[in-house]
Amino acid sequence: MQNSIAKIASTTGPVLLPLVLAQFICSYAASNMNVAISSIAHDLGTTVHGVQISITLFTLTMAALMIPGSKLTDMWGRKFCFELGLIVYGLGALVGAFAPGLGILIFGYSLLEGIGSALLIPPVYILATVSFADLPSRAKAFGMISAAAGVGAAAGPLIGGLITSAISWRASFILQVLVVAVIIILGHRLSDPGIQGTRPRFDLTGAILSAAGLFFVVLGILQSGTYGWFRASQNFTIGNIVVIPQGGVSPVWLFVGIGVLILLWFFLHIRSREHAGKEPLLATRLFRNRTANLGLVTQNIQWLIMQGAFFVISVFFQTVRGYNAIQTGLILTPAIIGVLLTSMIAERFAKRRSQRALIRAGFIITIVGLVLILLLGGPTASVFNSIPGLLLMGAGIGVMLTSSVNVVQSSFPEKDQGEISGLSRSVSNLGSSLGTAIVGSVLVSSVVPENHTYGLALITVAVIACIGLVAALLLPAQQTHS
């Protein structure tokens, strides 16, 4: 018995460890910056909003390029894209560590690390798919990778807070460089069966349209922090030309409208390529699966909740309460514990309950947690009052992490795993990007008094969680594909 266990560990360990670490470090990079916002803004001579933009652009870059990145794995090979992504990511972390200003930080962190993540994350899920042929072992592999994503995002504030307080926020980037170096060494053991059949041609037009559409949608939401949601609080200018005068329609809807039109153009483009018998960036059949579509909605919203809630809590305790990075990270510890506990026992839950039941339960627990934070942990309340709510919120998110991925991935056969992996990861990162963008705009809103923006931001997250619950309730009984 012991020999068989050792044999399984020896075969799965070399494959899973670099994949799990890669997913962990990318998720960590998206959340650890939250607790260092004040320190970074002070050191670089910028504002909290400026640092928020760099965080949002990082997740936005991943979301915009994840689909093209997944297609490149079918052209260049999974292992090659995995290693190339690690190199680009590591270079970006190195640039971020020595950034003298916000512009260089955005170049290294937001762009290079974002591009690197878009290259290396799709191969993580595809390599797990091809490395584990039977469904039980594959489900367990997805569970470990998804748990690493949740733990990385949840533990990011605590680890980042410890490093920022003990050394500097720059040391957190150095840590990422070191972890990437370890992953590159471990990744040499990965075996890639290679591309089977004809290599597809890259749909450059589709890649540009998908990335541009997503970019403009989130860019528009970001404008709400400066101009407001409905009426422009100041003149919106391009150069010296006033495009929208103060009091006019907020430029939020100008950018969102442009993004939606570009995404519609993208869909028409890939459909026309299919009709012409050409390889599209993304097959339209992926959007005709009701279970997967609802699963993608729940996946997007769960990441929006996690990043949005962590962001608003981190900003509030740093800018209003005056807490340092490590104190802010410790405040979020109950949520981290909640994610860890439920992620570790997610496999046991899955044996007793269906994936859709777990997603529904996760949203309900998360909503209860957010309500408790609002009721018990107000702006003037003791930080200890927030512990029950944070613990429940984290537990609810942890329940959903693996289940949402399994619902989406299991809705398609083997031949579609590459494309659905890219779409799934893009939707998740778009949720993270929207989370910081939406709650960030609420925090600087002038609609309510400044001392009420914290509560309004949390209410916004709770309302979005209710929308996720509705999507989860609409999930049909799932039919899996091998």
Domain range annotation of the chain: 12-203+281-473, 204-280
- Tell me which residue of 339, 248, 252 sits closest to 28, measured CA to CA: 339
Contact 421, 61 (CB under 8 A): no
pLDDT for the residue numbered 13: 61
Distance CA 184, CA 87 (A): 8
Q: How many CA atoms lie within 13 A of 409 on its CB side?
A: 25
- Tell me which residue of 301, 303, 312 sits closest to 463, measured CA to CA: 301
CATH code assigned to 12-203+281-473: 1.20.1250.20
Distances in Å between the Cα of 79 and the Cα atoms of 86, 123, 143 are 11, 7, 21
Neighbouring CB atoms inside 10 A of 86's CB total 23
pLDDT for the residue numbered 16: 83
pLDDT for the residue numbered 136: 60
Read off the tokens for 317: 């305790």
Distance CA 450, CA 447 (A): 9
Distance CA 454, CA 458 (A): 6
pLDDT for the residue numbered 35: 73
Angle at 311 between CA 438 and CA 463, to 5 degrees: 50
Q: Write out the chain's pLDDT in tens, 482 residues.
A: 334 334 333 445 677 889 989 988 988 887 777 778 888 888 898 887 788 788 878 877 887 788 888 788 877 888 888 999 999 999 999 999 999 998 899 999 999 999 999 898 888 877 877 777 665 666 677 667 877 876 777 677 778 878 887 888 899 999 999 999 999 998 887 777 666 666 667 888 988 998 899 888 877 877 776 787 778 888 888 878 888 888 888 888 888 999 999 999 999 999 999 888 888 888 888 888 888 889 899 988 988 898 888 888 877 777 777 777 677 777 878 887 887 777 667 667 766 777 788 899 999 999 999 999 888 876 666 777 888 888 999 889 888 877 787 788 777 776 676 677 778 877 887 787 778 778 877 776 555 555 677 778 888 899 999 999 999 999 887 555 54
Considering the entire predicted model, what is its pTM? 0.77
Contacting residues for 211 by C-beta, under 8 A, at least 6 apart: 64, 65, 68
189 membership: H or E segment, kind and range: none
